[in-house]
A and B are shown apart, each in its own frame.
Chain A
Amino acid sequence: MGTTTTNGNKGGLPVKLTRKDYQSDQDVRWCPGCGDYAILAQVQKVFAELNINRDETVFVSGIGCSSRFPYYMNTYGMHSIHGRAPAFATGLKVSRPDLNVWVITGDGDGLSIGGNHLIHCLRRNVDLKIILFNNRIYGLTKGQYSPTSELGKRSPSTPLGSTDNPFNPLSIALGAGASFVARSIDTDVKHLQATLKRAAAHKGTAFIEVYQNCNVFNDLTFINVTGKDVKADRQMPLTHGQPLVFGKDKDKGIRMTPNGIPEIVSVGDGDGQVPLSEVPLHDETVADPGYAFMLGQLQHPNFPVPIGVLRAVEAPTYDEMVADQIQLAKSQAKATDIESLWHMGDTWDAGSTAE
């Protein structure tokens, strides 16, 4: 990312930027108490910390509560149409690889109406950062169940409870071959900041699912895993190179049974326990997506949910490959002036000899 340099300050030393520098002049209009505020704040803080150039950054969003995000960032921005942000962003990034492009979407926008664009963007590995605000509800349209709502969800459109199985955003991203996949939580300020930084540094599509509380239509939907008193036992914090352990005393671990199914084990040197040395170390860089997919499938209540970076692998980006092809075509072209394009193929002279 060639964006950690100056910030439009004319020539002088880089100034220390603050969150304020990334705030636009527009009033933020989310409901008071909405998790979106926290995410906006962390993005602005991280941008300030990384000294990201405002003028070279574009936020693109679709439709939904979260998609108002670009209006509040003092960067270039486009609030587009429902579900299509990855497609706009792809066009932008491919034609302007020099820009730093972020996509803001939600569970309805990104996984329902725009599911197709999201998976294709991920499989292409366009160099975009995608933050999916998952609140498991349609907020802006007043509370219908979403593709991440749990089975049986009661909502205005499902008075007797929904009858569809939810999507797991991480599995979708990993299934589409995403090169960077992470999960974080709106209220976990430090973790969210760290995850945003990792995404900002990743080359290729970076996908972050953020658990976001919609206190108006789906309050406390993640409380079973984010609650202060339960989170140690119900979250599996992922750190590259560290063992897959969780619990307040790090005394529980995840490992695979011989037939490839994850299981929870008690970690320690006692009877019936598994020594720490035998608990697998988390490796984000495993080329085979199967490992990360296994992690992504860990779900409450049977397992702790993974929080952190599941996968971060290096892969050529789509925009880079397109640029390379153009470069190659230009270097091999016999002529690039427009007249030679007109004259391509069989031409002949006529008219002069006609009687």
Chain B
Amino acid sequence: MQSQQESASHTPIPAANPIEEVDTVVIRFCGDSGDGMQLTGSEFTKVSALAGNDLSTLPDFPAEIRAPAGTIAGVSGFQLQFSSRVVFTPGDQPDVLVAMNPAALKSNLEDLKKGGSLILNTGAFTKGNITKATYETNPLEDGSLDGYKTYKIDITKLTKECLKDSGLNSKSIDRCKNFFALGLTFWMYNRPIEPEVESINKKFAKKPELAKANIQVFKAGYHYGETAEVFTESFEVRAADIPPGRYRNIMGNSATAIGLVTGAQLAGVELFFAGYPITPASSILHELSRYKAFGATTFQAEDEIAAACAAVGGSFGGAIGMTASSGPGIALKGEALGLALSLELPMVIVNVQRGGPSTGLPTKTEQSDLLQCLYGRNGESPMPVIAAMTPSDCFYTAIEAVRIAIKYMTPVMLMTDGYLANGSEPWKLPKKEDIKPFPTTFRTDPEGYQVYARDEETLARAWVKPGTPGLAHRVGGLEKDALTGNVSYDPHNHEAMCHTRAAKVMAVQNSMGELLMNGPDQGDLLMVGWGSTYGAITKATNLMQDEGYSVSSCHLRWIHPFHPKLGALLKRFKKVVVAEMNLGQLVKVLRAEYLIDCEPLCKVQGKPFKVIEICNKIAERAGKVS
């Protein structure tokens, strides 16, 4: 990798502007959903990744595709934390806020750090826009921005000026202004401009006139920072000390898709994925549909139910059937999942959780489907449930889901959420030899075949592909004889089958990896989490350990069944607090399972935890180590 100094040398920094070294920056770009803030954010992410920073991102967009321009409902944002240290979250509070219009300022200002930098596009602060943002007075003039380092720049006008000879119409010109903002931030953080020019060329390859215009505006923004002497200094964030290797910036849903394909390859089976469009899960379907060459067959079904059913059909045929959705869709799939677990066929169901109930907050994150995933089916219907912790961990968790599904012949619920799905981080690409294959054996021997005969260790029945001579058999959702699989209404057989299905899922405990612990395995306080709260809980625990508190954290990948060592661990702490983005769902399960007192730390605002919120709880509940 090129060093920071070398890359910077392409674009000399005038001596008048000193470069200050900082180790961590949180920046948020926000504007109207038509302003291209997601693109701006992801471009800035890319260059930060290339500079070797560790980072974490959080896009935040409205549920409406095009809410009325200029309104608060239409504000779209993208937050990024980049650092020369290890990054766990996208950051609690932005140090820098780029607001492209009054509505963006109104809805984001409260998050900005006191004394933080505020870059405003004054061109958008028209009377109309100020009113639409529900401001009574012009915030540029009423003193409400005192206390921030405010940079008032008429980005709209400067963009127009820059492109006046481009031949583009005024609408197209206006849509380039996000690149002005991007250019400004590139200057502020001393980023090389060449990779971005390349990236714009690539992105707009089909529309060279737009590529040219965006590059022009991007450079104009950069040079504006340099020459207009608006900014008194620029900053540098050095490369982070991360494990050496090849990296790729990855969003959670991409990692899930790639993990599912990898899992199927490691198992040596075809992948059949059936989905139905739903926010925020759709991009898993999109990605997989591009991976045909890697053995993925995808099917966009007529509804959520059909997607689940088609996946079961695929599994019956000997592929690993998969589907992905979010809470409302998972509710619809429930009956088909019950059938899958009754047929004892492998299957992976991804629940990318969003705010609920009902349609809820489609584009916001939450963890309130845990009980739905654990119990949301009729009858005694246990199913392994596992959860991913970070965007790149979605890859490993997806592989684990495939492994469990096939080994134990069961549907597996893989839980992520909107924050993981759309958030991103650098992913150190694994080596092929780092990931162990788990080849599948299909039964082909007709001798002594009994449809529901089980493997002694895993309690799994044999997987038979239709087309195998001599093994023709029928399965169905009616209760089955424990051995032959024929329909059975025998009361004792039914009870035995219920116990066996439960025991089979519990057997997953025998092949789990290590329980994820951070800190000593006993003390005052154990913070427990699952899913996407990993970053915030870990960071908070680390900070508070440094402050001398007796606190550890434990993060659960396996939620059903729990890790076999979890019960004993919980009992070695005086207090247990569970931080989750719901009203205390894991807490209920832990209490029921282990009869221990544990306390919830809840948040249901459609937003991930801030590190500080968890630190505060730790300070309340943990004592200092003497």
- Residues on A facing B (Cβ under 8 Å): 8, 24, 26, 54-56, 58-60, 63, 70-71, 73-81, 84, 87-96, 98-99, 116-117, 120, 322, 325-326, 329-330, 332-333, 336, 338-339, 341-355
Contact = CB atoms under 8 A, between A and B. Distances in A.
Contacts of B470: 8, 55
Contacts, number: 223
Given A76-B466, A347-B246, A96 B472 contact: no
A116 B304 CA distance: 11
Contacts of A341: 258, 261-262, 291, 294
B472 A354 contact: no
Contacts of B317: 91-92, 95-96, 99
A88 B46 contact: no
User: Which 8 pairs from chain A and chain B are nearest by CB?
Assistant: A79-B476, A91-B313, A91-B310, A351-B244, A333-B293, A87-B309, A329-B292, A77-B474
B475 A79 contact: yes
B293 A329 contact: yes
B319 interface: yes
Given A26-B486, A81-B335, A81-B339, A91 B311 contact: yes
Contact of A354 (B242, B258, B307, B428): B242
B314 A350 contact: no
Interface string B245-270: 11111000000001001100100001
A71 B480 CA distance: 12
A330 B292 contact: yes
Given A79-B477, A338-B294, A341-B262, A87 B246 contact: no
Contacts of B303: 116
B278 interface: no
20 contacts: A26-B487, A70-B474, A76-B474, A78-B476, A80-B312, A84-B336, A87-B313, A88-B313, A90-B310, A92-B316, A99-B466, A120-B302, A322-B299, A342-B262, A343-B248, A349-B245, A350-B52, A350-B247, A354-B238, A355-B241
Given A26-B486, A84-B336, A95-B297, 15 more contacts: A78-B313, A79-B478, A81-B339, A84-B305, A84-B309, A90-B310, A92-B317, A94-B314, A95-B272, A116-B302, A117-B305, A336-B293, A346-B249, A349-B1, A352-B244
Nearest to A336: B293
Given A87-B310, A92-B314, A74 B239 contact: no
B430 interface: yes
B472 A87 contact: no
A350 B474 contact: no
A333 B261 CA distance: 16
A343 B310 CA distance: 30
B316 A94 contact: no
Contacts of B307: 87
Nearest to B471: A55
A42 B242 CA distance: 70
A343 B242 contact: no
Of B243, B302, B319, B338, the most chain A CB neighbours within 10 A belong to B302
B467 A350 contact: no
Interface string B309-345: 1111110111101000000000000011011000100
Contacts of A87: 301-302, 305-307, 309-310, 313
Nearest to A118: B302
Given A78-B343, A79-B474, A351 B242 contact: yes
A204 B1 CA distance: 56
B476 A336 contact: no
Nearest to B476: A79
A78 B474 contact: yes
A94 B470 CA distance: 23
Of A81, A325, A336, the most chain B CB neighbours within 10 A belong to A81
Nearest to A77: B474
B568 to A, nearest CB: 37
B114 interface: no
